[in-house]
Amino acid sequence: MYGVEPGKESFANNCLLARKLVEDGVRFVQLFDWGWDTHGNIREGSIDLGLRNKCREIDRPITALIMDLKQRGLLDDTLIVWGGEFGRTPMQENRGNTKMAYKGRDHHGDAFTMWMAGGGIKKGASHGKTDDIGFSGIEGRVSVHDVHATILHLLGFDHEKFTHEFQGRPFRLTDVEGEIIKEILA
């Protein structure tokens, strides 16, 4: 189902393990998959070849993870969050003003896609829109703090009141910002 290869370090193995851990009552399972930096400087880091392979590595395991949690009745009690640290430019990278060996895109924080699935999430929703070339958000822009506020909300916290005193003042995960993204909540 997941495409697990026993004994190997793989995203698929980690997805199966994540399901198992959540089933066993672990609160937070964090997966990091490395190798998505597609600048176009090397084959593995190219948009048309490298990225296709990376997608292949996650496509089946992620699909299996959601289906597996669902068939076990665990999806409603679990939140799955998917994303990277930013997105990529609609422009082809021209590192040092030269032509790159492969097709690539540079880092871009103005607009990128994330998704969530599981308990409390509006199934099949799509919130926010980028301009015609995908450079900037033009509707429903959300910040990292908004994403955090939404995750904490689903866990049962008011992100503005969930604080920890440190060196004389209360600290929050969302600092002084963050709004719950109601548009993706069921």
* Contacts of another protein in 56-95 (CB under 8 A): 56-60, 62-63, 65-67, 70, 75-95
In the bound state with another protein, the residue whose beta carbon lies nearer, of 43 and 52, is 52
Q: Residues 7, 43, 71, 73: which binds another protein (CB under 8 A)?
A: 7
The count of other CB atoms within 10 Å of the CB of residue 90 is 17
Binding positions for another protein, 138-157, rule CB under 8 A: 138-145, 147-148, 151-157
**Total binding residues toward another protein, as defined by CB under 8 A:** 138
Provide, rounded to whole angstroms, the least separation between the CB of residue 102 and another protein: 11
Q: At what angle do helices 11-23 and 50-71 cross, to 10 degrees?
A: 20
Q: Does 123 bind another protein (CB under 8 A)?
A: yes
Binding positions for another protein, 93-112, rule CB under 8 A: 93-97, 103, 105-112
Contacts of 126 (CB under 8 A, 6+ apart): none
Question: Per-residue string for binding with another protein, 12-51, x by CB under 8 A?
Answer: -xxxxxxxxxx-xxxxxxxxxxxxxxxx-------xx--x
Contacts of 138 (CB under 8 A, 6+ apart): 129, 130, 131
Q: Which residues of 113-149 are buried (b: 16+ CB within 10 A; e: fewer)?
A: eeebbbeebeeeeeebebeeebeeeeeeebeebbbbb
Provide, rounded to whole angstroms, the least separation between the CB of residue 101 and another protein: 14
Q: Residues 160, 175, 179, 182: which binds another protein (CB under 8 A)?
A: 175
For residues 146 and 178, is the Cβ–Cβ distance under 8 A? yes
Q: Residues 71, 126, 160, 182: which binds another protein (CB under 8 A)?
A: 126
Separation CA 154–CA 85 (nearest Å) = 21
